[in-house]
Amino acid sequence: MLLRLVDLRRKTSDESSSTRVSGTRSEIFWLFHYGNLHLRQQCRANEWATRRDFVAVLPESVLKENKPTRAVHNEVPILLVRRGERVFALAETCSHFSGPLSEGKLEGDSIVCPLHNSTFALEDGRVLNGPAVHPQPCLEVRVRGGQIEVRKRV
């Protein structure tokens, strides 16, 4: 991107200086905008990598049996699934193409992404069927005081 900014300043003399300035400002705006967007996404993704405490994400009464449910904590979407006495928590955004796993279907002890049919194990997030090649991040879950709480697995 920096080379692109330098190239804009080296335009030929037949172009107006106002075109060069607005082009440069536009490039700087997009560099700043997308750089900040990428940084915010990285910070949200990395939040779970350092979190050690449980955080409440959903009242227990809201989570229905065998229904994939989306919860959100600090703008991070989380997939919750109740199977009997167990509650599973995974990253809600598919590792393959960012599909919403909460809109997927349950098959046995796995979730199938609605976009490209990638299948992930609820137990540990491993890929059971592609095209995804990266597992879904999993969270440790507990129910306390009527709230479903999650944290990074330790």
Structure tokens at 78: 């989380």
| CATH number 2.102.10.10 is the correct assignment for the domain at 55-152 | yes
Q: Whole-model pTM?
A: 0.66
Residue 97: pLDDT band with limits 50, 70, 90:
confident
Question: To the nearest whole percent, how much of the chain has pLDDT over 70?
Answer: 67
Is 148's pLDDT higher than 90? yes
pLDDT given for residue 153 in this prediction: 82
Residue 62: pLDDT band with limits 50, 70, 90:
very high
Mapping DSSP to helix (H, G, I), strand (E, B) and coil, where does residue 64 land? Answer: coil
Is 28's pLDDT higher than 80? no
pLDDT given for residue 39 in this prediction: 40
> Which is more confident, 61 or 51?
61
Residue 58: pLDDT band with limits 50, 70, 90:
very high
Is 25's pLDDT higher than 70? no
Residue pair 54/43 in contact by the 8 Å Cβ criterion: no
Residues 6+ apart with CB under 8 A from 23: 8
What is the average pLDDT value for the chain, to the nearest integer? 75
Kindly report the backbone phi and psi dihedral angles of residue 14, in degrees, each rounded to the nearest multiple of 5, phi listed first. Answer: -75, -10
Domain-wise residue ranges, the chain: 2-50, 55-152
Is 118's pLDDT higher than 50? yes
Is 121's pLDDT higher than 60? yes
Residue pair 119/137 in contact by the 8 Å Cβ criterion: no
Q: What is the pLDDT of residues 31-44, one digit of tens each?
A: 444 444 434 444 44
